A and B are shown apart, each in its own frame.
Chain A
């Protein structure tokens, strides 16, 4: 529990290191699936003082390895086409596209998990993506829409998990799709093994 909270804090802390680079220590994996401790839900909702704009370079020397949105200028349509094939050949996928659905919204969206350095950015992206669907006040509150919606994901084994549980890299490698559901429904996940 401590280790998970620590890894989340690491995601949101201000660092001088290059974005995308991680300190080598990782929390011990205590089995693949765990119930989500109460603390983490609160931690996940916490609004953070820093924003992501510091990661983008404007005219300065390039930041190695950080993926910039929309660069190179290739349509997602085209990128998607190669993603599956690269996975087959074992070459580096240039994106990690997963489907995102939201209960109540008519259509699915796709996002590229590689664009985000951590849970906070992912959540922000999802916020803005589904902005037009979530009518409630909660969508305008900075950082926290935990009162209405919870973000869950389906992992490699098909299990539904709450997002924010595991270290970020573990999440991106095991997440197959995302689902934004009403918080009331998600509460049931906490009691799962």
Chain B
């Protein structure tokens, strides 16, 4: 394969093909508009014909590359690195040698073998598997995104691996054990929304990872072992640990408290501790006494245990002593009368998560009115519009707000509404990110927010009753969302809901030029909506759609853009097998998966679930029975 030659006019062409072999994300908007050439995967220039390392460059170039490596190692930002790697082959090589953190947004877009071949010296991996809709039971179990193949490749290639962060991957106990055994320098493990593991895996991590600094388990679906729950907390070595962060709120099994207390006592570097709801208030107080320098605290149940007799004053003292606290969460079963115990730290709080605390506005007010430096606030809608008014009054620096529903059903009463949204928009002018669940909303409230909060980057409004119009005018919610895309110029993420026609999608297409993630559910009238979005939203990376009347015509209108996207998800729409096949035929570097809940689903012509994504690898080899790759 003559491609290996460095010189000559080949260079420009080689550069394009090479970038398509790594991450399509490396090529910013529009560059791979035509898609990588068909042959780039298997034919000319494909991996099969290319040796693992090109022959070494001439001596002078080697010196230059070494110098370059020394400079490039200071480049940290992924986009900068991707850009640097496109300059020429020399830079490409140097960058590949010096990249320490690998970030793979879709574990099926690129194979472990390919990654490991290009990047030789990685120390950290960030890997994402299933798309977000998997969190809502839309992906059948066993669909994929297993960590094992990545682990196998890295065990030989990156013996000095230090950090792993996984999101929505399936990680088994044996994976965790293998990880613990394979990487002696391993330090940081973060698992977010993953599944497949239980306390057995955690125990091995505890025992073998002697340099563990971070063990953050966030909203994982930890396997319920019932009889075989292992006391993993007591498996940490008896010596002083290097733990800086320990989060296990989602590991919902009883905790050996004395082991936990002893662990905290011998972890002088511990700054972030988030315990599960089986830790009582009295126990929490003891933990806080052991770790007075904590910055982040997940408080567990925040309820006295059965035999515990605590008064608020005692508890308050614990908070007075924790002068470094800036982030509080937990409150899983909070006894509201104990909440004021946190008052001493409120003024310093930057982040407060009360989204599991079933409290009223009256119970919230004394606390929130002191939280004047709050930037992130998560809360339950039980505080009502009145509670939100208090937030608006007190938290002038608020950047992120999330209001979750206590009753997550379509026909629940709903305690927050347009009134609360307007209040927030008036008081929190610096708002950048909002997630708001409600049952009643008006266009004028959303318009108000679009005008008051011009810094909005993320706007996610979920009107839980499907197809609900503006509850005062009875009009569709088109104008509200239209105003958001028109006025919030920095918007990159949008989730729409309520009664919506094709019109709103025209607005989104016209004004939402920076939108990268769009979530659509029960919206739109016709294929026009999908067409508008795919033709107009040039920055679109992730599009997730459910239960909307979009069919093959809409799907096909995105053919020019799918290579620029990470994925498209469409479920319960009006797609047919022939439409999806056409997309698959026209776009060879796209993997088009048709997912069925039952085997017979795959035989019918209607496509219930479509998941398509660009990939350098073609159809994956771990396809389960209920998935058909076209």
Contact of A59 among B406, B408, B462, B525 (CB under 8 A): B525
Which residues of B have CB within 8 Å of A62? Answer: 410, 465-467, 522
Question: Is A58 interfacial (CB 8 A cutoff)?
Answer: yes
Question: Is B224 interfacial (CB 8 A cutoff)?
Answer: yes
On whether the beta carbons of B223 and A131 are closer than 8 Å, the reply is no
Question: Is A128 interfacial (CB 8 A cutoff)?
Answer: yes
Binds A, one of B64-72, B136-144, B423-431: B136-144
Q: Which of A74, A99, A108, A110 has the most CB of B within 10 A?
A: A74
On whether the beta carbons of A107 and B198 are closer than 8 Å, the reply is yes
On whether the beta carbons of A129 and B409 are closer than 8 Å, the reply is no
Chain A: minimal CB distance from B333 (Å): 7
Which residues of B have CB within 8 Å of A53? Answer: 606, 608
On whether the beta carbons of A140 and B599 are closer than 8 Å, the reply is yes
Contact-size category for A: 35 or more
Question: Is B407 interfacial (CB 8 A cutoff)?
Answer: yes
Question: Is A61 interfacial (CB 8 A cutoff)?
Answer: yes
Chain A residues 112-129 with CB under 8 Å of chain B are 124, 127-129
Question: Is A16 interfacial (CB 8 A cutoff)?
Answer: no
Q: Take A71-B410, A128-B598, A131-B142 as given contacts and tell me if A56 and B572 are in contact as well, using a CB distance cutoff of 8 Å.
A: yes
Chain A residues 29-71 with CB under 8 Å of chain B are 53, 56-59, 61-62, 64-65, 67-71
Q: Which of A61, A106, A129 has the most CB of B within 10 A?
A: A106
On whether the beta carbons of B407 and A78 are closer than 8 Å, the reply is no
Which residues of A have CB within 8 Å of B600? Answer: 142
On whether the beta carbons of A107 and B140 are closer than 8 Å, the reply is no
B interface size (C-beta, 8 A): 58
On whether the beta carbons of A74 and B625 are closer than 8 Å, the reply is no
Contact of A67 among B219, B226, B409 (CB under 8 A): B409
Residue of B nearest to A74 (CB): B408
Residue of B nearest to A127 (CB): B598
A117 to B358, CA, bound (A): 30
Which residues of B have CB within 8 Å of A69? Answer: 136-138
Q: Take A62-B467, A107-B225, A140-B599 as given contacts and tell me if A76 and B137 are in contact as well, using a CB distance cutoff of 8 Å.
A: yes
On whether the beta carbons of A128 and B547 are closer than 8 Å, the reply is no
Which residues of A have CB within 8 Å of B467? Answer: 61-62
Question: Is B405 interfacial (CB 8 A cutoff)?
Answer: yes
A79 to B409, CA, bound (A): 10
On whether the beta carbons of A77 and B219 are closer than 8 Å, the reply is yes
A78 to B574, CA, bound (A): 31
Which residues of B have CB within 8 Å of A64? Answer: 411
Question: Is A85 interfacial (CB 8 A cutoff)?
Answer: yes
A132 to B142, CA, bound (A): 6
Question: Is A81 interfacial (CB 8 A cutoff)?
Answer: yes
Contact of B408 among A79, A128, A132, A142 (CB under 8 A): A79
On whether the beta carbons of A128 and B437 are closer than 8 Å, the reply is no
Q: Take A99-B224, A131-B626 as given contacts and tell me if A72 and B138 are in contact as well, using a CB distance cutoff of 8 Å.
A: no
Question: Is B549 interfacial (CB 8 A cutoff)?
Answer: yes
On whether the beta carbons of B549 and A58 are closer than 8 Å, the reply is yes
Chain B: minimal CB distance from A87 (Å): 13
Which residues of B have CB within 8 Å of A71? Answer: 136, 410, 464, 466, 521-522, 546-547
Question: Is B150 interfacial (CB 8 A cutoff)?
Answer: no
Which residues of B have CB within 8 Å of A128? Answer: 140-141, 597-598, 626
Question: Is A156 interfacial (CB 8 A cutoff)?
Answer: no
Question: Is A92 interfacial (CB 8 A cutoff)?
Answer: yes
Chain B: minimal CB distance from A2 (Å): 31
Q: Which of B136, B140, B409 has the most CB of A within 10 A?
A: B409
Q: Could you show 14 A-B contacts with beta carbons less than 8 Å apart?
A: A53-B608, A68-B410, A70-B133, A71-B136, A71-B464, A72-B437, A74-B437, A76-B137, A77-B219, A91-B407, A92-B407, A107-B225, A108-B223, A142-B598
